Amino acid sequence: MEERRSLELKPVGIIHSPYKNAGEVPNQEYRREKISQIEVFEEFEEGLRDIEGFSHIVVIYWFHRSQRYELLVKPPGQDSLHGLFSTRSPRRPCPLGLTVVELVAREKNVLKVKGLDAIDGTPLLDIKPYIPLKHEKRPIEVGWLEGKLGRGKS
Residue 150 lies in a domain: no
What's the number of domains the chain is made of? 1
- Is 26 a domain residue? yes
The verdict on residue 144 lying in a domain is no
Domain ranges, residue 40: 13-132
5: in domain:
no
Cα separation, 130 vs 59, whole angstroms? 9
- Sign of the Cα pseudo-torsion (154, 129, 52, 64, in order): positive
Query: How far is CA 40 from its chain centroid?
Result: 16
Digit-by-digit pLDDT tens for the chain (154 residues) are 566 778 888 999 999 999 898 778 776 555 558 899 999 999 999 999 999 999 999 999 998 887 788 889 888 778 889 888 888 778 888 889 999 999 999 999 999 999 998 999 999 999 999 987 766 667 767 787 777 766 443 3
Confirm if 40 and 127 have CB atoms less than 8 A apart.
yes
- Please check whether residue 105 lies inside any domain of the structure: yes
Residues making up the chain, counted from first to last: 154
Task: State pTM to two decimals.
Answer: 0.80
Flag whether 46 is in a domain: yes
The reply to whether 90 falls in a domain is yes
Burial code of 3-41, b = ≥16 C-beta within 10 A, e = fewer?
eeeeeeeebbbbbbbebeeeeebeeebeebeebbbbbbe
How far is the C-alpha of 108 from the C-alpha of 78, rounded, in Å?
42
Per the domain annotation, does 143 fall within a domain? no
- Domain with residue 123: its CATH number is 2.40.30.70
- Residue 122 sits at the vertex; the CA angle it makes with 117 and 124, to the nearest 5 degrees, is 95
